[in-house]
Each structure stands twice: as C-alpha cells, then as structure tokens.
Structure 1
Amino acid sequence: MKIGLPIALFAGAGLFYFLSAQKSSDYQKLAVTNFDSEKYLGKWYEIARFDFKHEKDLKNVTAEYSKRNDGKINVTNRGYNFVKNKWEEANGKAKFVKDETIGALKVSFFGPFYAEYNAVMIEDDYSSVLIFGESTDYMWILSREKSLSESVKKKYVDYAIQNGFPVENLVWTVQDEKY
C-alpha cells in the first residue's frame, strides 16, 4: 500500500497539470492581434512588474527574445540582485498558444510547466508593451529603452485597472546600469 500514495500523488499532479494547461485566462482573450513576432524579438527593459519570488530584489531587469529552430522562442531574463550583489539569469522558452499573429504565449522556465504571457497592449512601433499573466498576480511593462513616457505608463496602468489589476502593487524597476 505504500506504493499507492506516490502513484496517486503523481496521477493527481498529472491531472492538475493537464487541466491547468488546457484552461486559458480571460487575459489571453485580450492578447493583441496582428502581432508581429519578428518585431517582438530582441532586448526589452523591464519598466514595472508585480514582484514575486523569482524577481524579488532585482533591478536592471531585461528580457531578451530570440527565435529557435523549432519555432519556439528563447527567453533570457536577467537582473541584478541588489541584496545578494550579483547578476541572476533565467533561461526559458516560449511558444504561441494559437499562432504568431496573436500575442498570447506560454512561457516555461521549469521543464514542462508553462505560464501565460499575454501581450495585451503594444505600441505600433514595438517600443513598449503591457503584459498580463494568467491572473492579476502577474503583470509587466516592458520598453525598448530604460525609461518610458508618463503618458504611456498611464495608458498601461489605466488599462490594467480596467481589467482588475491591483496597480498599487507595481514595483517600478530601477534601470541604473550601463550595458
């Protein structure tokens, strides 16, 4: 009977993963259409985020996206941990939920586990983007530059408020290093 519990736990975890992988959030439905994946590639600076354990105490955060041979996208997130006084980097992969013309992706940094990454607002010149995750716990504002105009910040924050995001929890990322 000792084998039964691990098998049940494994099966339960598998079922949970399958069900969570199949479910999409309302935020996925807000993803921009006419998304140009080629224009999206390259380096982005994090302007703001909701803090969570993998980004806690980070400044000078960047995200870099590049095309893979299998059609997926390489994701490299990098930031300086000002408490530990060291650079941290996470490498992952992203795949489009439907096709490359919709800004709804799934991103994985941990094996087969993917999380939603929805580009819900993007400037026409791909100079900045607002990203919603699968819940109101995950939100990012990214820019091609280390800063962003107050008018664009306000536009993104207002849209987040309209969609139920607690913007008072935003961490405005310090970008003070030269790259």
Structure 2
Amino acid sequence: MKKICSTLSLISGILLLAACTSNPVPNQELAEKVDIEEFMGTWYVHGYTPTAIDKGAWNGTETYERLPDGKIQTTYEFRKGSPDGNLKTYHPVGNIVNTETNAEWRMRFFGIISAAYYVLYVDPDHTFTVIGHPNKKYAWIMSRDSKINEERYSELRGELEEREYELSNFVRMQHQ
C-alpha cells in the first residue's frame, strides 16, 4: 500500500509539473501591444491572487530588467505578514513568447517550473497593468506608484471580471 501511495504521488507530481510547463495558445484576449522597454522597471502590486509563497504579502513590487539575451530578469519582493515582516525576494525569469505583441510570456520559477504570464492590459503610458494566467484563477493588478485610487483599482479589477476570472481569493495588497 505504501508503494502504491508513493507511486501515485510521483505520478501526480509529474502530471502537475507537465501542466505547469505546457505552452498553451492564449485562451483570452491579451494586450494589443506592450512596449517592452517601457514595461521594464518597478511595478507596485495592488491586487493579487495569493499563492503559497506570497500569502499575506505587504508592500509588494515586481521589477523587470531586460537581459542581453532578451529574457526578463524579475525581482518580486514583499514583506511577509505585515509592513515590518520579513522581506521575501524571488527571482523568476521571463521569456517573451509572442514578440509581435510582447504580451505573452513564460515565467520560470526556481529554474524548473514554467508558467504562462499574460499581459491582459497595459495603459498607453505604461503606468497601470493587469496580468493574468490561462486558468483564470491567478491575476495581478499593478501600477508604477505605491498608491492607487479606488476608482482606477475598480476599473482594473473590472478587466478581470469581464474576462470571467475567478476572483473569490483575489485580495488587495496593502502598501505602507
């Protein structure tokens, strides 16, 4: 019985990894065009779907830097649990899949897990963006400033609602 459970766990892990590393064709409308150089720099996370690594995050930022090979070095930083909590930093690497629009990326986490990263919306000034995932369960609302007014936040959240994202776990990230 123990051997069967171990085998099933191994098979489940392999299937999960395969699902994370697949390259699906976008199943939703993405941003028409992302000026990748304008997109680089620091973004403040205002709304997000928590994962195991960033549940209870405060003061979150995503910083993007274009590498000489065209990949995107990402630095995701936040405080865990409170504004004074431990600083957590992660460094996924992005690869632009659709170079015509620059709106479809794959992010590689921990060197082994690859996940789709969709730029669903970016305003013409590249000051607000909405990021999504093919399963419509994970999303992020970000801006270039640590503050965002309620009306603009609601409009950006509306982008996700119109696309029928599952937002029951979506939370507002606090910045202090």
- TM normalised by structure 2 equals 0.84
Aligned counterparts of 1:139 and 1:22: Cα–Cα separation in 2: 18
8 A Cα contact 2:23 2:116, kept in partner:
no
The amino acid of 1:137's aligned partner reads: K
38-47 or 17-26: bigger deviation: 17-26
Q: Relative to 1, partners in 2 of residues 1:60 and 1:124: Cα closer, same or farther, differing over 3 Å?
A: same
Other structure's SS at 1:155 match: helix
The amino acid of 1:87's aligned partner reads: L
135-144 or 111-120: bigger deviation: 111-120
The amino acid of 2:99's aligned partner reads: D
Number of aligned residues:
168
The aligned residue for residue 101 of structure 1 is 101
Other structure's SS at 2:44 match: strand
The aligned residue for residue 92 of structure 1 is 92
84-93 or 55-64: bigger deviation: 84-93
Q: Relative to 1, partners in 2 of residues 1:138 and 1:64: Cα closer, same or farther, differing over 3 Å?
A: same
Other structure's SS at 1:167 match: coil
8 A Cα contact 1:127 1:144, kept in partner:
yes
Q: Shift of residue 35 of structure 1?
A: 1.2
17-26 or 152-161: bigger deviation: 17-26
8 A Cα contact 2:91 2:109, kept in partner:
yes
Question: Is residue 58 of structure 2 the alignment partner of residue 35 of structure 1?
Answer: no
The amino acid of 2:133's aligned partner reads: G
Aligned counterparts of 1:118 and 1:35: Cα–Cα separation in 2: 11
- Gaps of at least 5 residues in structure 2 are none
Over aligned residues, Cα RMSD in angstroms? 2.6
Deviations 1:72-121 (A, max 9, x none): 01000000012693100001100111216331111111213211111111
The amino acid of 2:50's aligned partner reads: D
The amino acid of 1:115's aligned partner reads: A
Q: Shift of residue 66 of structure 1?
A: 0.2
Q: Shift of residue 19 of structure 1?
A: 9.1
The aligned residue for residue 162 of structure 2 is 162
Aligned counterparts of 2:130 and 2:173: Cα–Cα separation in 1: 14
The aligned residue for residue 82 of structure 1 is 81
66-75 or 146-155: bigger deviation: 146-155
Correspondence list, 1:1-179, <5 A: 13=14, 17=18, 20-27=21-28, 30-82=29-81, 85-99=85-99, 101-176=101-176
- TM normalised by structure 1 equals 0.82
Q: Relative to 1, partners in 2 of residues 1:69 and 1:144: Cα closer, same or farther, differing over 3 Å?
A: same
